[in-house]
Structures are given as C-alpha cells and as structure tokens.
C-alpha cells in the first residue's frame, strides 16, 4: 500500500522532481525531453525565425559557427529546420498519445473492471486493430484520405488506443479484487465512482509507463511516415521529410542526414529513458 500512496503526490512539481531524482534514467530522460521541448517551444526566438529562408550564397555549407548543423541544397539552415521539425514531431506525438488515452483508458477501465460481454467485445476489437502492422495501416489510411498532419495524428491514435485499452484493462482487472474496492462497493459507491476514484488512480503507474513509450513510438512513426511522403507535406519542416529530401546529397554533405536523425534518436531515447525508469519510482505495481 505504501508504494501506491506515492502515486498521488500532494503538491505538484517539486514532488515529481524529487521523485525523478531517485532514478538516473528518469532524470536523464526528463532532461533530454525538457531541453528538446524547450527548444521547440522557443523555436522562433532561438533561430532566425524562418525555416524556409534560402540563402544561395551558402549552399550545402559544412557545419560552422553560423550554421551549427550546416546548410542544405537551398542554403537553408539545417539546425533551424531541425528545431521547427521537432516542433511538428512533438505536437503530433502529444496529440496522438493524448487522444489514444482519452479513448482507450475509459474503455480499458470498463473492460477490466466490469468485464461481461461488453468488456469481451472491447477486447476482441483491440485484437482486430492490433493484427494490422501499424505502419501499413497508417500508409493505407493516408492513401485513402490524403496525407495530412491531422490524419496522421488520428491514425496513430487509432493504433495506440487498443494498447491503452489493454494496459488499463489488465491493471484494473487486477485492482478490482483488492480489499479497498470491495470496501467501496460495500459502502454503496457507484461503479462509475469506483472506476474514477479508486481504480484509475491505482492504475496510473502502468498507464504512465506505457504513455511514455508510446510518445517515443509516435515520434518514430511520424518521421517514418513523413519520410515515405505520406505524412507531413512540404514546405512544413519535418524531420522525416528532411531526411528524404537531403538523402540524395549525403555523399557530399553527410551533415544533411546527421542533424535530423540524431534529433529523432535523442527525442525517442528521452521518452524511453523515462518509460524505463518510471517502474522503479512507482514500485513493483508498474511493471507489466
């Protein structure tokens, strides 16, 4: 029980930070994600402001003080484009994971706590969606509805929702047998109240771990889909799209593919470090 109580820190940030300090992985992950997110948010002020600004005097210039990541075949600053691309990646990842949780967590609570034929139907539906290789699904949807950022967010959310359902269902079906749930039922609490106030807070740890891993996967998906031309469309800067555009020139200018790739790697690594370290902070209950 004492482990579970730690899940509900009384005052926000300081407690979270103190918790984070107990795991090196989480600290490192939060530092990486925090720095990248900060850079993305401050993009217009950190950079020249315009990721599409061309300068034909500096075409494919190697990294220098003025252009830390070099410039591309249109003389555009690679670092500026990477930071703006990161903005798009993070927005896609945050919105798709949030959407998946909004849809998946309530369904998972229902399936895990109430069960019955409704719960079974929900679980079978997750089986069907999860049988599709995720990328193939996103590709097919992009082909049908036309490639766009909105569609990409929706289709990634659609793939992630069953995962959120599963994790929540597994956690809640374990929690529903706890004595305190029986107590709440005996007091006459409604099922909705029990799910919201008793099951959900105690299922928070595995959901948070999963959400963190999903953030990383979403960034990988966004860049991969944009790389094959079915995601973010030019001239919007995207890390995946940049890699596809810059690839033909990499023999002469390897920095064109290094900057964007390392940035994706770091962002995903950050979220995975957080996901790896969280179970240690939350205690055993978070390990799925």
Partner 1 sequence: MVVPILFGVSVIVFFLMRLVPGDPALVILGLRATPEGLAAIHRDLGLDLPIHRQYIHWLGNFLSGDLGRDYRSNEAVTTLLAQRLPVTIELTLLSLLMSTAVSIPIGVQAARKPKGWADRAADAIGLVGISVPDFWLGIILVLVFSLGFGIFPSSGYTPLSVGLAQNLSGFVLPSLTLAVGLAAVLVRVTRSAVAEVMAMNFVRFLRAKGLSEPAIFYRHVLRNAALPIVTVTSMQFGYLLGGAVIVEQVFDLPGVGNLIVTATLERNFPVVQAGVLIVAAFVIFVNLAADLLNLLLNPKMSEADL
Q: How far is the CB of 182 from partner 1 (least distance, A)?
A: 29
Cβ neighbours for 51, distance < 8 A, ≥ 6 positions apart: 76, 77, 80, 81, 83, 84, 85, 237
Binding site for partner 1 (CB under 8 A): 124-125, 127-137, 139-145, 216, 220, 223-224, 227-230, 240, 243, 247, 250-251, 254, 257, 260-261, 264-265, 268-269, 272-273, 276
Query: Nearer to partner 1 by C-beta: 51 or 259?
Result: 259
Mapped onto helix, strand or coil, the DSSP state of residue 211 is: helix
Helices 12-20 + 24-41 axis angle, to 10: 130
Both structure tokens of 11: 């005052």
Compute the least distance from the CB of residue 275 to partner 1, in Å: 10
- Comparing CB distances to partner 1, the nearer of 128 and 179 is 128
Which residue(s) pair with 97 in the sheet?
A: none
CB nearer to partner 1: pick between 93 and 273? 273
Closer residue to partner 1 in complex, CB, 261/283: 261
Closest to partner 1 by CB, 171 vs 256, is 256
CB of 193 to partner 1, least distance (A): 34
Between CA 241 and CA 222 the distance in angstroms is 10
Q: Which residue's structure tokens are 């590709």?
A: 139
Closest distance of CB 169 from partner 1, Å: 17
Report, in Å, the least distance between residue 249 CB and partner 1.
11
Phi-psi bin for 75: left (phi > 0), alpha (psi -120 to 50), beta?
left
């Amino acid at each position: 029980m004492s482990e579970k109580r730690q899940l509900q820190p009384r005052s926000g940030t300081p407690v979270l930070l103190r918790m984070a300090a107990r795991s090196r992985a989480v600290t490192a992950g939060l530092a990486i994600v925090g720095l990248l997110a900060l850079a993305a948010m401050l993009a217009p002020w950190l950079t020249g402001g315009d990721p599409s600004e061309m300068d034909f005097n500096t075409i494919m210039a190697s990294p220098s003080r003025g252009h830390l990541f070099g410039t591309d075949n249109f003389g555009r600053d690679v670092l500026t484009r990477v930071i703006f691309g990161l903005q798009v990646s993070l927005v896609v990842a945050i919105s798709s994971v949030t959407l998946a949780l909004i849809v998946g967590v309530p369904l998972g609570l229902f399936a895990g706590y109430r069960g019955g034929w409704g719960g079974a139907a929900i679980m079978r539906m997750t089986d069907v969606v999860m049988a599709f290789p995720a990328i193939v699904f996103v590709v097919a949807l992009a082909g049908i509805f036309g490639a766009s950022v909105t569609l990409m967010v929706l289709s990634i959310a659609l793939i992630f929702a069953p995962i959120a359902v599963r994790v929540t269902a597994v956690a809640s079906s374990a929690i529903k047998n706890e004595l305190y749930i029986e107590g709440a039922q005996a007091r006459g609490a409604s099922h909705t109240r029990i799910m919201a106030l008793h099951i959900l807070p105690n299922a928070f740890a595995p959901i948070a771990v999963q959400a963190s891993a999903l953030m990383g996967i979403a960034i990988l998906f966004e860049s991969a889909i944009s790389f094959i031309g079915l995601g973010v469309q030019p001239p919007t800067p995207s890390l995946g799209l940049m890699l596809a555009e810059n690839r033909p020139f990499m023999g002469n200018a390897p920095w064109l593919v290094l900057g964007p790739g390392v940035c994706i790697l770091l962002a995903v690594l950050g979220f995975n470090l957080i996901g790896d370290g969280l179970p240690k902070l939350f205690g055993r209950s978070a390990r799925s």
